[in-house]
Amino acid sequence: MQVWPGSAYPLGATFDGNGTNFALFSEGADRVELCLFGDRGKETRVDLVDVDAHVWHAYLPTIQPGQRYGYRVHGPNDPANGQRFNPNKLLLDPYAKAVEGQVAWGQSVFGYDFGEPDSRNDDDSAAAMMKGVVVNPFFDWAGDRLPKTPYAESVIYEAHVKGLTALHPEIPEEIRGTYSAIAHPVIIEHLKKIGATAIELMPVHQFVNDSTLQDKGLSNYWGYNTIAFLAPQNTYASTGQRGQQVQEFKGMVRALHAAGIEVILDVVYNHTAEGNHLGPTLSMRGIDNEAYYRLEDSDKRYYTDYTGTGNSMNVGNPHTLQLIMDSLRYWVLEMHVDGFRFDLAATLAREFYEVDRLAAFFEIVQQDPVVSQVKLIAEPWDIGPGGYQVGNFPPQWTEWNGKYRDTVRDFWRGEPSTLGEFASRLTGSADLYEHDGRRPVASINFVTAHDGFTLRDLVSYNEKHNDANGEDGNDGESHNRSWNCGVEGPTDDPDVLALRARQQRNFLATLLLSQGVPMLSHGDELGRTQGGNNNGYAQDNETTWVHWDSVDQPLIEFTAAVARLRHDHPIFRRSRFFDGRPVPTEEGQRLPDIAWLRPDGTQMKPDDWDSGFGRAIGVFLNGEGIHERDRRGQEIVDRNFFVLFNGGDETLDFTIPSGGGDVQWEVIIDTAGRVDDMGLVDHGTSLPLTGKSVVVLRDHREEPTEIDHSVAASLAALTTPIDIVPSPAPKPEL
């Protein structure tokens, strides 16, 4: 076999049309062997003798795409000093762009003998290990262009590749649960119907299925257990062809972009699947443990864990930072993704101990000409000290707003003293983001996400029901801020079902009409339930998959109607915070850009915000007070709106003030389903507002618009409450 010196850059296996360059970083290694595997498992070892700046490299002119490979790294095995080299362990390239196979759990993939953590195990792990695959980088993008949807116009749909598509009857069975299924026209049509402009995919970086879950008959469904940051998950490919997952992923992105839908990846750079000191040796642990992981200063056998998963990536090391940044650039430049949601992003800010918003990672992202130009979304917390950092990320970042979720849930379940914070969350959370120059779009608003109850379960359960996870109900959040509407779980009580249906509409209307960027969790618009399981991480079955054959069609239509309202009216998606300044009207009056109203139609006074009994509030939105320009430089002017919220249990009368001039108001949304009964509303009218409901009124104009008819038609379908519960997954044998 011909072996040429090759190049230290780029890292990984890079096919150039003729041969392949291999490059691996390891500062502590004494020797590195590249291991090539034939179709029958024969292993050929090639010594990498050329080393530049701790990068071991070679060019093999005969190696083509499809070649499987791994590494064996020689060096000191001294866990007390953080060194865990062992050439008997085949190691996955951290830069592998495709991976074949899964880990076959057993003694060989661990660096110690079971029951003796301080021992050394020299069993060869090659037969049990996944392998890297050399990929063909060439792909016909057919003129693909990133949609570049502005944040203010974005609606994000969080989804799981398999869970969203595994049960869809209109998707060919052979591609369900794959990248090709996400690109299928029925999925794209649904996304467009509900107004989604971006799909945020739960982890698709190659991850490992935990041995502890497999022993229970479960599996790692969510995928927050990454092992290769540049490789798309191989189980989401529709064929077993080696390296096909790369081409299929690109085809999915191309199809979504053609429909104007962005692709955002949920990425896990805070830890890896190798776990703590008792974890397996699969990749970075055996390549350069000290460089890639944060170790305890007092005893380097142990790993610093800010994530609850056993280890934390050492973002203070330049080579670890390079791996993360190279991964991000690869997914943007080569895979054409539009942004990233960073799991437990506070961990990336820990250069030393405290969370530091100006840590090296954020400085590098700020100046990077590629990564800085895509959507960057932080999950702004981890489990370490000071880890809750909502509102504290750098200005170019947006954040999952956990305070929005908690406040909106509390308001609709009837918690006292929530009016002030509820108003703040509705208007973009200026208290969190305005101080450093950020805008309302810094807030990624959500009520539910993959972690926790679905929307259906949020209004159907007071307690989690996680027995199927095999952890005696000890897993998952216990304080869910949920309300079951009077009955725990499934019921045939029509009053309870009607209230649950209305509560789901309340949450969706609140979410889609709040300032900031709304994020829907997949299936919430369909009435999806997990039977009260609020931690479906291990349920790769019908508990977590979307049941497309039993969806809540009226809820879909409602979601689509409110999303169209948001799309058509920029007053609900402002790029700047409200300022309360008076704005001249055509009639010569001066109205503020926003006004908060009591049920009697008068403006809220300071004492009203702190009243523990307050359950209802109205807001006037002035369409002439947006103070923004569109892309062509034209002043943005919209219609005026009243949005009324009644979080109480009883119907109350809400007096409608004039809003300026002799105007009438049309009710375009009522989550209690009474749009057709209300007609036009004059100022000064007392409007009955059903308990637990939202009403939206728009200033009436003679000329009809398309949204008037589509919204009315969609809301007219709100008649039959339904209850959909899939068969629960069997409890595993323990």
Nearest Cα to 337, choosing from 226, 245, 199, 442?
Answer: 199
Instruction: Decide if 357 contacts 393 (C-beta within 8 A).
Output: yes
Cβ neighbours of 645 (radius 10 Å): 26
Quickly list DSSP for 8-49: S-S-EEEE-SS-EEEEEE-SS-SEEEEEEE-TT--EEEEE--
Q: Tell me the three state secondary structure of residue 682.
A: strand
Sign (positive or negative) of CA dihedral 469, 471, 477, 481: positive
Distance (Å, whole) CA 157 – CA 353: 34
The catalytic position among 200, 288, 338, 379 is 379
Instruction: Decide if 252 contacts 201 (C-beta within 8 A).
Output: no
Backbone angles phi, psi at 438, to 5 degrees: -75, 165
H helix intervals, 513-621: 553-568, 606-609
Cβ neighbours of 354 (radius 10 Å): 11
Name residue, tokens 């301080």.
118
Distance (Å, whole) CA 193 – CA 102: 37
Does residue 10 have a cis bond before it (omega within 30 degrees)? yes
Instruction: Decide if 572 contacts 435 (C-beta within 8 A).
Output: no
Sign (positive or negative) of CA dihedral 350, 354, 355, 359: negative
Q: Let me know if 666 is a catalytic residue.
A: no
Distance (Å, whole) CA 79 – CA 81: 5
Nearest Cα to 109, choosing from 235, 293, 232, 285?
Answer: 285
Amino acid at 599: P
Nearest Cα to 308, choosing from 392, 383, 224, 410?
Answer: 383
Q: What is the dihedral of CA 288, 294, 299, 300, to 10 degrees?
A: 0
Burial class (CB in 10 A: 0-12, 13-18, 19+), 471: middle
Residue 213 CA from chain centroid, whole number: 23
Backbone angles phi, psi at 567, to 5 degrees: -65, -40
Distance (Å, whole) CA 73 – CA 92: 11
The catalytic position among 326, 343, 382, 524 is 343
Q: Let me know if 343 is a catalytic residue.
A: yes
Distance (Å, whole) CA 256 – CA 298: 50
Distance (Å, whole) CA 132 – CA 706: 53
Instruction: Decide if 146 contacts 257 (C-beta within 8 A).
Output: yes
β-pair type (517-521, 156-159): parallel
Instruction: Decide if 8 contacts 32 (C-beta within 8 A).
Output: no
The tally of CA atoms less than 13 A away on the side-chain side of residue 462 is 7
Residues designated as active site = 343, 379
